Amino acid sequence: MVDMALWLRVLVLVACLFPASVESMVRHYKFNVVMKNTTRLCSEKPIVTVNGRFPGPTLVAREDDTVLVKVVNHVKYNVSIHWYMVAASPFMDAPIAVDNVTATATLHYSGTLASTTTTLTVPPAQNATPVATSFTDALRSLNSIKYPARVPLEIDHSLFFTIGLGVNPCASCVNGSRVVADINNVTFVMPTIALLQAHFFNIKGVFTDDFPGNPPTPFNYTGTQPKNFQTVSGTKLYRLAYNSTVQLVLQDTGMLTPENHPIHLHGFNFFEVGRGMGNFNPKRDPKKFNLVDPVERNTIGVPAGGWTAIRFIADNPGVWFMHCHLEVHTTWGLKMAFVVDNGEGPNESVLPPPPDLPEC
């Protein structure tokens, strides 16, 4: 009996260490793009859905599988299908380092001529970061009479925001702690009353306007990290006067792990005037800023272990979120908001809510 039990343990160990290989397979999916009535914002309205579902269906595949998706458009509009897909570990949104690489796909459209020649391109290596960086750095705006690049040259607010992850105590969590995300060590907490409502009606106790314009505790952002991963939680906003000019440097950190963060700003377009790897140098790096023809955007990627500098004019009064477009990071608190005060007159002020605005 002892020998039998020993052999069983050995067999279980071998099975765990050397799992049976799974052959790749072809997986077929069909997307029917259809209209469906859905209740949103207190009213029913038709929206475009995939297979009548919103959000759409999930595609499941293993590494090396071939996924064939047939997309049939049943609505009266032209439809573009955008794929958020990377070939990486399923743990890519957890606080561990992974080698994210780009997946590739082939599109075949029905109705194309059989005689049409298919030209295959040779893409760069899947993790060719220098190639992607070189392409991004070469982008320029038109800066013409018709499409001018009105880059702010005089700056009223020079801000420096660090972006990273952290670990905070959590009494209800299994191990007593949880992963969070932060900007300038502030993990944003969503209020129960809308920020714009609180701002317009001057409701006290919903938010504070003491968001730090610089890291509370400077450190080697892309080098050796502090041992204390805890952040400050709060509903903190940064206040701007109407028409003030802003320069904002977004600095990635190595807290838990470096990450490329797509940062989106609501309410404004901005100009990307510079980017680089490592820590931003306030004396050396601004000398290389492109203030002539930078690209104008509302979403920008902050490189892993690097920084991006943007400039914009706060000419849109109200409360405007800035957040990471990785959904999990946003839910972890990687967001903040600018509150822009009214200017002079009704054209420079927040409009009141309409009298028939439904209350959900």
The CATH number assigned to the domain holding 183 equals 2.60.40.420
What local confidence, expressed as pLDDT, does residue 136 receive?
A: 87
Q: Quick one: 68 and 195 in the same domain?
A: no
Q: What is the pLDDT of residue 84?
A: 61
279 within domain boundaries: yes
Burial of 108 (0-12, 13-18, 19+ CB in 10 A): exposed
128: in domain: no
Q: Note down the domain range covering 271.
A: 157-347
- Asked if 175 and 31 sit in the same domain, the reply is no
How many distinct structural domains can be found in the chain?
2
d(CA 265, CA 44): 29
CA dihedral for 14, 17, 18, 19, sign (positive or negative): positive
Q: Is residue 209 part of a domain?
A: yes
Nearest residue to 290 (alpha-carbon basis) of 305, 272, 269, 276: 272
- Say how far apart CA 94 and CA 92 lie, in whole Å: 6
CA distance 330 to 4: 53
The residue behind tokens 């940062």 is: 263
Residues 69 and 179 in one domain: no
96-129 tens-digit pLDDT: 555 555 566 667 777 666 677 777 777 777 778 7
Do the domain assignments include residue 196?
A: yes
- Do 210 and 325 reside in the same domain of the chain? yes
- Whether 132 is covered by a domain: the verdict is no
Distance CA 198, CA 115 (A): 63
Boundary residue ending a domain (62, 82, 102): 82
Q: Does 183 lie in the same domain as 65?
A: no
Task: Clarify whether residues 76 and 181 are in a common domain.
Answer: no
Instruction: Give pLDDT < 70 ranges for the chain.
Output: 1-22, 83-106, 111-114, 360
Tell whether 115 is covered by a domain.
no
Supply 49's token pair.
């859905």
Asked whether residue 39 is assigned to any structural domain, the reply reads yes
Q: What is the pLDDT of residue 93?
A: 47
Q: Domain boundary residue among 82, 115, 131?
A: 82
